[in-house]
Amino acid sequence: MRLSRDTAAFRLISHPSGAIGLILLILVAAMAVSAGWLFPAGPWTMVGAPRVWPGADPRFPLGTDSMGRDILTELFYGSRVSLAIGIVSALVSLVFGTLVGAIAGYYGRWIDDLLMRLTDAVQTIPSFLAAIAIVGVIGPSLTTITIAIAIVSWPMIARLVRADFLKLRSLDFVQSCRIIGMSDLRIIFTQILPNCLAPIIVSSSVLVATAIIVEASLSFLGLGDPNVMSWGTILNVGRQELRSGWYMTAIPALALVVTVLALNLISDALNDSLNPRLKERS
């Protein structure tokens, strides 16, 4: 077990896209962690003249926005919001999706039918529109945004987990657990779940990426938490200045795309290194 985990981790680092993705993601994480030390004044302070172009003033390497706030500072604080919302909402949908998928796949029959129909139904509803409705009606805050993202993104996980549980539940090792009188809960969590972690891990990276995009899209529309500076907030402010100061849009957009790209690369690499047999097919 220990050996195989080591080789999977090794394969991830030695995988070209995995290495690139990890480096990029570590950079973004470093931005998030260091924001408070490097820029103790916070992202909301007016520090200079508005609309200073990048490179024009050495105090503001990436320029200032229309309110005279330093874009570099905003970018660093924005990475905190993106990563935090991405990770927390991915975790919530991961836990919920896994529970639904595990129960449906393990018990089968009508429970499976009911839960999967519900999962399909949630997946059919236009998810971004649903997120807007939830955040718009209840009011934007980090909590509602996180919950809205989790509500629309758990079905993918539920389907993956359910498919694996269906496959695994009839295998001999599960049967023998039943025979020795293990409880259902114990079989689900200690016997079957560890065996279907691979697809969960691969898709968790995609989940974080999707969550980051949804949060940025909401803030871009002006539906972000008004108390935090996210990349979407910078984009929302920059949109009004597109004609004269397109750098205000291009810089946060680049940060967003690079982060999502990094997560996608990691997910691809995870997929290859956790399912080595699938490698020849792609």
Partner 1 sequence: MAASDPAGRRQTAGLKKALSSPTLRYLLRRLSQAVLVMLLVIVGSFVLIKLSPGDLVDALAGTRDLTADQMADLRSRYGLDQSVVIQLLHYMLRLVSLDLGYSPLNSAPVLDVLEERWPVTAILVISSVTLSMAIGTLLGVVAARHAGKPVDLGISVLMLILYATPSFIIAVLLMLVFALKLRWMPIAGYETVGAGYTGFQHLWDVVVHLTLPCAALCTFFIAIYGRIGRAAMLEVLSLDFIRTARGKGLSERRVIYVHALRNALLPLVTMAGLQVSSLVGGAVLVETVFGLPGLGRTAFDAVFQRDTNLLLGVVFISSLSVVIVNLLIDLLYVLLDPRVNLK
**What is the nearest approach in angstroms of partner 1 to the Cβ of residue 148?**
11
Q: Is 276 in the site for partner 1 (CB under 8 A)?
A: no
**Residue 278 makes contact with partner 1 by CB under 8 A:** no
Among 12, 92, 209, 228, binds partner 1 (CB under 8 A): 209
Does residue 1 belong to the site contacting partner 1 (CB under 8 A)?
no
Q: Is 266 in the site for partner 1 (CB under 8 A)?
A: no
127 binds partner 1, rule: CB under 8 A: yes
Q: Least distance from C-beta 253 to partner 1, angstroms?
A: 5
* Interface with partner 1 in residues 231-260 (CB under 8 A): 235, 239, 242-243, 246, 249-250, 253, 256-257, 260
* 195 lines the binding site for partner 1 (CB under 8 A): no
**DSSP symbols for the chain:** -HHHHHHHHHHHHHSHHHHHHHHHHHHHHHHHHHHHHH-TT-TT---S-TTPPTTTSTT-TT-B-TTS-BHHHHHHHHHHHHHHHHHHHHHHHHHHHHHHHHHHHHH-HHHHHHHHHHHHHHHHS-HHHHHHHHHHHH---HHHHHHHHHHHHHHHHHHHHHHHHHHHTTSHHHHHHHHTT--HHHIIIIIIGGGGHHHHHHHHHHHHHHHHHHHHHHHHTT-S-TTS--HHHHHHHHHTTTTT-THHHHHHHHHHHHHHHHHHHHHHHHHHHH-GGGGGG-
**Position among 134, 158, 160, 234 found at the interface with partner 1 (CB under 8 A):** 134
Write the interaction track for partner 1 spanning residues 65-104; mark x where CB under 8 A is met and - where it is not.
----------------------------------------
- Of 138, 175, 189, 190, the one binding partner 1 (CB under 8 A) is 138
Which chain residues interact with partner 1 by CB under 8 A? 117-118, 120-134, 136-139, 209, 213, 216-217, 220-223, 235, 239, 242-243, 246, 249-250, 253, 256-257, 260-261, 264-265, 281-282
